């Protein structure tokens, strides 16, 4: 049910003269002689509704508790606003207080709290300007992603959250078990005597939270042609960085009958489309980020939307970096993985726009990437963006049974565990390609927020799982 009177975003564009009920939380209150001003916000947009309360129009005991943080319904008449930046304000006739917020103890009282402090009050930070903007953008971005794929006929597939296969060993995994930690069953005899007896566990073998849905998405691509996943992903990496979460969301499209060129085309179209959609949906929020968080945001986003991405083979990228005359923290040489500093140099100094680096050395990329004929490189592509470096990682997948089997052995992975992945190459295999990108990394890019903990509603990191 939408409250009678509508969202504040709708009230703000209504004509003067209308009587409306506005619902929301008091952001600030200012008292001057004979009149009180309230900034009311219901989360529907960045802008607040300004409410004007003339002295004597509202009973004193009600007015007393209409303080910052209180939840209220204000009935009033919309009038033309003399203030700059808003068309209408609300002249209060009656106020109903749903919930008070004691001004001595309400934590969001003052402005200018640190992000760290706000993280500790994740149940209330949602009402601040910054987090209002962050989570409206997050919503718009999620919708934009579905719109992009659905418009192109991609089917949305739900890949499992619990898995018994460790995809590419992408990172440390969380175990999932119902065994009694105080009394773990052990194997009694034989070569594995003393080890945990997982046959007694829920799934009869070790199980984990997924680190990627890609391999499952490939199953679906080889039946539905074009698919995508968009779901939660888990990594038990004990890396306390501003770019890593233990629980995050990943987007992974997978396309049959597609090679690396098609994959790059999709990645570029994807970024341009979702960024453009969010710019259209949340102009007020992005303006706020540009003003208060990072004043290059809008420029950077325009740059991505309006420029063709550069394509550079890895070998060429390494040559550019070697000849740059820069001194690097991590040395550059053919065979080394590109680090953030290198990725940023390519996008910010060399090309001044997003760059897609292709054909990486096979040693530094996952086993499932399609081998090139040179025997040294694979059909991988990373999309690098100014300001953050890698934003998308993808590849054409190895569709040839024998080559894939060789690569599984070469990577010392278990042939048995990948039996179904191998069988897909035995029965109706097809060239296919896809990519993955972290939803929160894209959020960082769009908002300019500095810490990934501040673009997800309830961050999970080492030592923290509050809320
Ligand atoms: P990184 O080197 O940054 O740790 P990765 O190489 O481990 O990334 P992939 O395994 O390729 O990343 O995962 C796909 C995408 O998921 C990454 O490009 C990134 O956007 C995102 N991602 C990876 N790990 C995390 C994490 N811990 N928290 C949030 N997003 C992540
Ligand atoms: Mn990682």
pLDDT of 109 reads 81
Residue 465 lies in a domain: no
Ligand 2 centroid vs 171 CA: distance in angstroms?
A: 6
My answer on whether 85 and 136 are in the same domain is no
Q: What residue's CA is closest to ligand 1, atom 5?
A: 170
Residue 62 lies in a domain: yes
My answer on whether 136 and 271 are in the same domain is yes
Tell me which residues have their CB closer than 6 angstroms to ligand 1. Answer: 170-171, 235, 237, 243-245, 248, 250, 390, 393, 436-438, 440-441, 452
Contacts of 110 (CB under 8 A, 6+ apart): none
My answer on whether 246 and 352 are in the same domain is yes
My answer on whether 165 and 45 are in the same domain is no
Ligand 1 centroid vs 461 CA: distance in angstroms?
A: 14
pLDDT of 164 reads 84
Residue 241 lies in a domain: yes
pLDDT of 2 reads 46
Q: Which ligand gives the minimal distance to the CA of 242?
A: 1
pLDDT of 90 reads 97
Residue 183 lies in a domain: no
Locate the ligand 1 atom nearest the alpha carbon of residue 246 and give its number: 27
Contacts of 143 (CB under 8 A, 6+ apart): 277, 281
Ligand 1 centroid vs 102 CA: distance in angstroms?
A: 42
Ligand 1 centroid vs 130 CA: distance in angstroms?
A: 25
My answer on whether 52 and 91 are in the same domain is yes
Ligand 2 centroid vs 390 CA: distance in angstroms?
A: 12
Q: What residue's CA is closest to ligand 1, atom 30?
A: 438
Q: Domain range spanning residue 69?
A: 2-99
My answer on whether 64 and 159 are in the same domain is no
Residue 436 φ then ψ, to 5°: -130, 145
My answer on whether 303 and 449 are in the same domain is yes
Last residue of a domain, one of 77, 99, 121: 99
Q: Which ligand gives the minimal distance to the CA of 393?
A: 1
Last residue of a domain, one of 51, 78, 99: 99
Locate the ligand 1 atom nearest the alpha carbon of residue 452 and give its number: 29
Ligand 1 centroid vs 195 CA: distance in angstroms?
A: 32
What's the structural domain count of the chain? 2
My answer on whether 221 and 91 are in the same domain is no
My answer on whether 304 and 446 are in the same domain is yes
Ligand 1 centroid vs 438 CA: distance in angstroms?
A: 6
pLDDT of 84 reads 79
The CATH number linked to 288 is: 3.30.930.10
Ligand 2 centroid vs 226 CA: distance in angstroms?
A: 26
pLDDT of 4 reads 60
Residue 166 lies in a domain: yes
Residue 446 lies in a domain: yes
As beta bridge partners, residue 390 has 384
pLDDT of 82 reads 85
Last residue of a domain, one of 60, 80, 99: 99
Q: What residue's CA is closest to ligand 1, atom 27?
A: 244
Q: What is the pTM for the complete model shown?
A: 0.95
pLDDT by 10-residue block (mean), the chain, 467 residues: 73 94 96 95 96 96 96 96 87 98 90 91 96 98 98 98 70 91 95 95 94 96 98 91 94 98 98 98 97 95 93 98 95 96 95 96 96 97 90 97 95 90 97 97 96 97 94
Contacts of 334 (CB under 8 A, 6+ apart): 315, 318, 361
- 367 with 410: CB under 8 angstroms? yes
Ligand 2 centroid vs 272 CA: distance in angstroms?
A: 25
The Cα 27–Cα 248 span in angstroms is 30
Residue 200 lies in a domain: no
Ligand 1 pocket test target in 243, 330, 435, 449 with most atoms within 8 Å of CB: 243
My answer on whether 417 and 327 are in the same domain is yes
The CATH number linked to 18 is: 2.40.50.140
My answer on whether 287 and 401 are in the same domain is yes
Task: Tell how strand 175-176 and strand 155-156 pair up.
Answer: unpaired
pLDDT of 5 reads 64
Locate the ligand 1 atom nearest the alpha carbon of residue 436 and give its number: 14
Locate the ligand 1 atom nearest the alpha carbon of residue 390 and give its number: 18
pLDDT of 392 reads 96
My answer on whether 76 and 138 are in the same domain is no
Residue 379 lies in a domain: yes
Locate the ligand 1 atom nearest the alpha carbon of residue 442 and give its number: 20
């Amino acid at each position: 049910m939408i409250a009678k009177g509508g969202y504040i975003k709708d009230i703000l564009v209504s004509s003067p003269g209308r009587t409306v009920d506005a619902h929301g939380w008091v952001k600030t209150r200012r008292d001057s002689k004979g009149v009180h001003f309230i900034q009311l916000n219901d989360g529907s947009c960045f802008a607040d509704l300004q409410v004007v309360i003339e002295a004597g129009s509202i009973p004193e005991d009600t007015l007393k508790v209409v303080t910052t943080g209180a939840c209220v319904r204000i009935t009033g008449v919309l009038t033309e606003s003399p203030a700059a930046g808003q068309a209408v304000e609300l002249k209060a006739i009656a106020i109903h207080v749903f919930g008070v917020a004691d001004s001595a103890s309400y934590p969001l009282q003052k402005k200018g709290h640190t992000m760290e402090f706000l993280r500790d009050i994740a149940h209330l930070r949602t009402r601040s300007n910054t987090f209002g903007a962050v989570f409206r953008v997050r919503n718009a971005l999620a919708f934009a992603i579905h719109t992009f794929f659905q418009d192109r006929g991609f089917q949305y597939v739900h890949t499992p959250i619990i898995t018994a296969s460790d995809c590419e060993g992408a990172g440390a995994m969380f175990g999932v078990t119902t065994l009694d930690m105080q009394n773990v069953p052990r194997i009694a005899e034989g070569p594995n005597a003393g080890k945990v007896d997982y046959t007694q566990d829920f799934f009869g073998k070790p199980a984990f939270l997924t680190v990627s849905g890609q391999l499952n998405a490939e199953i679906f691509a080889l039946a539905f042609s074009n698919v995508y996943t968009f779901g939660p992903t888990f990594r038990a990496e004990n890396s306390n960085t501003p770019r890593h979460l233990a629980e995050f969301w990943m987007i992974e499209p997978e396309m049959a009958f597609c090679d690396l060129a098609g994959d790059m085309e999709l990645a570029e179209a994807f970024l341009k489309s979702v960024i453009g959609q969010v710019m259209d949906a949340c102009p007020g929020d992005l303006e706020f980020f540009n003003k208060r968080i990072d004043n290059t945001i809008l420029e950077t986003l325009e740059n991505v939307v309006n420029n063709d991405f550069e394509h550079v083979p890895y070998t060429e990228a390494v040559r550019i970096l070697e000849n740059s005359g820069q001194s690097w923290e991590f040395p550059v040489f053919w065979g080394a993985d590109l680090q953030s500093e290198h990725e940023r140099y390519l996008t910010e100094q060399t090309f001044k726009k997003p760059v897609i680096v292709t054909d990486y050395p096979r040693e530094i990329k996952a086993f499932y990437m399609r081998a090139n004929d040179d025997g040294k490189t694979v059909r991988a592509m990373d999309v690098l963006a100014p300001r953050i470096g890698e934003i998308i990682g993808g590849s054409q997948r190895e569709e040839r049974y024998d080559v894939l089997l060789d690569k599984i052995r070469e990577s010392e992975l278990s042939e048995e565990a990948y039996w179904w992945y191998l069988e897909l190459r035995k029965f109706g295999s097809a060239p296919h390609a896809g990519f993955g990108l972290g939803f929160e990394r894209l959020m960082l890019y769009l908002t300019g927020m500095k810490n990934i903990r501040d673009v997800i509603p309830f961050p999970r990191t080492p030592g923290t799982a509050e809320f």
